[in-house]
């Protein structure tokens, strides 16, 4: 049986996105009878127990494997070169294009200016490059949801709030205040947090008090996205999940690594960029909420653009075929 080790991390500082997308990869590889292990550090906000509940063991020392998958902003070619005595192949998942890699395959699912060429000089000319949102890492629930999308009219009656698994800048609390102060009325409001959100008990209490639906560390995000008309979200990989199911949304930039992709997605009309989190106040979110009823055609076109940008090349998750070919 083939063996794959995934080196990634989650923490209160870096969030949970790396681990969550690697879990998607792990589950799909497992369906092909591949043994998958994670290698994660025990840092505050880690998801080691959550990954274990998903059926994957965490290892703490390097082991021999057919493939190492690295999804970590603090790892570059120096560590990757040391891996060569433990593995035949190395795959890197990156979003930044800011350091060199020693890898056989690189996956970057983001749309940014010159995304097809920005890894020139950073990886070997022989490395396979899977670049852009046609190579999105998508869970089965999103693939099914895309096949069952509602008609997006641009009218907003139901809202989803999800600012990432840890929400380190506590945007959710700002939004909850804005929802209390806005004069715009909504039929339904869903608020999602991750286990790593240090404010989750407070958020749950507010949701209970106001009759909002509260969700923590869920595995049915795609279903929620089908139920609502607009999402208030953060930049990062969830941006492309929203686009994938045609859900119009706003993005708050909560980390430097989200800035370029969020700004470019907004330029393309796929998302509403409301800016850097330090410049975003409760009043900003109130203004956003009040504008949702003003231009339904704008939101409807955002849905169409998101769907166009995230169309796969052939079958969904085409990167899976590349991995299987690499280690066969």
- Which two structure tokens, joined as six digits, stand for 166? 């840890």
Kindly report, residue by residue over 29-57, the tens digit of the pLDDT: 999 999 999 999 999 999 999 999 999 99
**Given the DSSP bridges, would you call strands 213-216 and 35-39 parallel, antiparallel or unpaired?**
unpaired
Point out the annotated binding site for substrate. Answer: 139, 241
Q: Which of 30, 88, 40, 34 is nearest to 64 (CA)?
A: 88
Residue 125, burial from CB neighbour count under 10 angstroms (0-12, 13-18, 19+)? exposed
Is there a single domain that holds both residue 96 and residue 210?
Answer: no
124 and 78 co-located in one domain: yes
- Domain CATH number, residue 322: 3.40.50.11190
158 and 92 housed in the same domain: no
Check whether 183 has a pLDDT greater than 80.
yes
Q: What is the count of structural domains for the chain?
A: 2
Which has the closest alpha carbon to 305: 230, 248, 222?
248
Of the pLDDT bands very low, low, confident and very high (cuts 50, 70, 90), residue 134 is confident
pLDDT for 62-119, tens place per residue?
999 999 999 999 999 999 999 999 999 999 999 999 999 999 999 999 988 889 999 9
The domain in which residue 132 lies consists of 3-136+312-327
Structure tokens at 218: 């869920």
Check whether residue 281 and residue 317 sit in a common domain: no
**Which residues are catalytically annotated?**
18
Distance CA 154, CA 179 (A): 19
What value does the mean pLDDT of the chain take? 95
Same structural domain for residues 189 and 118?
no
Pair 160, 302 in one domain:
yes
Encoded tokens for 71: 């999804």
pTM of the model: 0.89
């Amino acid at each position: 049986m083939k063996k794959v080790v995934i080196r990634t991390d989650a923490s209160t500082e870096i969030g949970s996105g790396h681990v969550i997308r690697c879990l998607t990869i792990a589950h799909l590889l497992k369906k092909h009878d591949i043994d998958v292990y994670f290698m994660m550090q025990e840092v505050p906000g880690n998801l080691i127990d959550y990954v274990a509940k998903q059926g994957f063991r965490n290892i703490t020392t390097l082991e021999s494997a057919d493939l190492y998958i690295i999804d970590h902003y603090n790892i570059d070619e120096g560590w990757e070169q040391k891996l060569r005595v433990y593995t035949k192949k190395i795959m890197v998942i990156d979003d930044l294009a800011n350091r060199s890699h020693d890898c056989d395959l690189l996956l970057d699912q983001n749309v940014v200016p010159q995304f097809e060429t920005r890894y020139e000089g950073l990886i070997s000319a022989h490395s396979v490059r899977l670049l852009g949102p046609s190579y999105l890492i998508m869970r089965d629930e999103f693939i099914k949801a895309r096949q069952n999308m509602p008609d997006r009219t641009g009218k907003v009656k139901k809202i989803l709030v999800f600012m990432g698994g840890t929400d380190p800048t506590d945007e959710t609390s700002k939004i909850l205040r804005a929802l209390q102060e806005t004069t715009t009325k909504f039929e339904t409001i869903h608020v999602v947090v991750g286990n790593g959100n240090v404010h989750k008990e407070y958020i749950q209490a507010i949701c209970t008090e106001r009759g909002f639906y509260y969700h923590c560390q869920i595995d049915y995000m795609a279903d929620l996205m089908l139920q609502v008309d607009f999402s208030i979200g953060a930049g990062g990989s969830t941006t492309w999940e929203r686009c994938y199911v045609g859900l119009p949304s706003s993005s708050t930039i909560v980390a430097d690594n989200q800035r370029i992709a969020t700004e470019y997605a907004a330029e393309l009309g796929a998302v509403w960029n409301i800016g850097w989190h330090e410049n975003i106040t409760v009043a900003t979110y109130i203004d956003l909420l009040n504008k949702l009823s003003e231009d339904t055609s704008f939101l409807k076109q955002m849905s169409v653009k998101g769907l166009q940008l995230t169309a796969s090349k052939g079958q969904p998750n085409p990167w899976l075929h590349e991995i299987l070919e690499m280690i066969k």
